[in-house]
Amino acid sequence: MATPTYRRKHKIHFSECDPAGIVFYPQYFVLFNDLVESWIDELLPQEGYHGVISARRVGMPTVRLEVDFKAISKMGDEVWLSLDVERLGGASLTLAWACTGVDGVLRMAARQTIVTTSLDTHKSIGIPDDIREAIARAMASAARA
């Protein structure tokens, strides 16, 4: 399997689970939104996600999401959350997400399409050059690993 563009380890918390003690599926979307935010923070350390959204007024809404739930994750499980850039377009990018147990079992997988927008006009804009270049570098680094 190829090295993902970005990943980090996560321990499933009580607050992410339903009364049965397994991850309540909407929590995966919160986990992966946090993962994207952390990734952008690392790509653009001078301003991070907050600076892109607040100061630059560049939005990154999800416009398409496809999800497959493969196995359960329980409170206390350690998992790898990863994202891989599948496509870097002019005004959008497609990410592949995966939540994989440290045992190697795929728990859930998704494809997300994000579009860059102006938060002032709420219209699509091109991915800013510095963000595009940072993403392209991350993709190249993952391909070499």
Q: How far apart are CA 93 and CA 50, in angstroms?
A: 19
Using alpha carbons only, how large is the chain's radius of gyration in Å?
16
Distance of CA 114 to the CA centre of its chain: 10
- Residue 129: the pLDDT is 97
| Cα–Cα–Cα angle for 122, 41, 144, rounded to 5 degrees | 110
Asked, for residue 1, whether it belongs to a domain, the answer is no
Confirm whether 107 is domain-assigned: yes
CATH of the domain at 67: 3.10.129.10
Q: What is the 3-state secondary structure (H, E, C) of 1-12?
A: CCCCCEEEEEEC
Which pTM does this prediction carry?
0.93
Domain that holds residue 89: 6-144
Q: Is residue 55 assigned to a domain?
A: yes
Per-residue model confidence (pLDDT) at position 4: 86
- Predicted local distance difference test score (pLDDT) of residue 19: 95
Structural domains counted in the chain? 1
pLDDT below 70 — which residues of the chain?
1-2
Using CA atoms, how far apart are residues 109 and 68, in angstroms rounded to an integer?
Answer: 5
Helix, strand or coil for residue 32?
Answer: helix
The span from the CA of 144 to the CA of 18, in Å, is 40
- Report pLDDT for 1: 52
